[in-house]
Amino acid sequence: MEIFLAVVSGVVAVFSVVLAIWSILLTKKTDRLIQTEDERAKRLIEEGNQRTQKMIDEGRQWFAELIAAENQRTQKMIDEGRRMFAEGNQRIQEMIEEGRRRLAEGDQRIQEMIEEGRRRLAEGDQRIQEMIEEGRRKLAELIAAGNQRTQELIEEMNRQTQETLRHIADLIVAHR
């Protein structure tokens, strides 16, 4: 009976040693899998961050180009308005000179020409103001559209990043 107990005890001891070695090997394998998945998760997060940053940078560049183009159009409109204003002023000066030259011919004719010049100047000023306001309105619309698109891109990137993080977390949980 003692021999039987000794044999059983020996078998149990050998089985315990084998089980301990197997447990150590499984623990090492599990640690390697976790480390591999952690590295993969970090890489996926970094790639997601890089894609997000790239899209944000592209959105900012698109927005900057849009603003620059609108600024250029607005500046052209302002320059055109100034040119028209200068032309209007030149025309008024010519009309005043013409009026002085014809002063001898009659005050009534001179007064009519001055009034015509003032009317045209007022129309020119009004048109310039309308053009400036239109340029400001269009610029505000473009800025709002650019802000909206940038916000949409940021929200989409945040959503994709969240999905990626959830997927990574699911993978980590699944491998544990």
Torsion of CA 74, 148, 157, 58, to 10 degrees: -10
Number of domains within the chain: 1
Is a pLDDT exceeding 80 seen at residue 99?
no
Averaged pLDDT score across all residues of the chain = 85
**Phi then psi dihedrals of residue 44, to 5 deg:** -65, -40
Q: Does residue 148 belong to any structural domain of this protein?
A: yes
- Is 156 among the domain residues? yes
In a domain, 96, yes or no: yes
* Structural domain span for residue 130: 74-168
Look at residue 3 and tell me if it is in a domain: no
- Tell whether 129 is covered by a domain: yes
Environment class of 117 (CB within 10 Å of its CB; exposed 0-12, middle 13-18, buried 19+): buried
- Nearest partner of 118 among 94, 78, 87, 88, judged by Cα: 88
pLDDT at 104: 62
The answer to whether residue 117 sits within a structural domain is yes
The 10s digit of each residue's pLDDT in 139-170 is: 899 889 989 999 998 899 999 999 988 998 88
pLDDT tens by residue, 38-66: 888 889 889 888 988 998 898 889 889 98
Q: What is the pTM of this model?
A: 0.33
* Domain presence at residue 46: no
Domain annotation covers residue 25: no
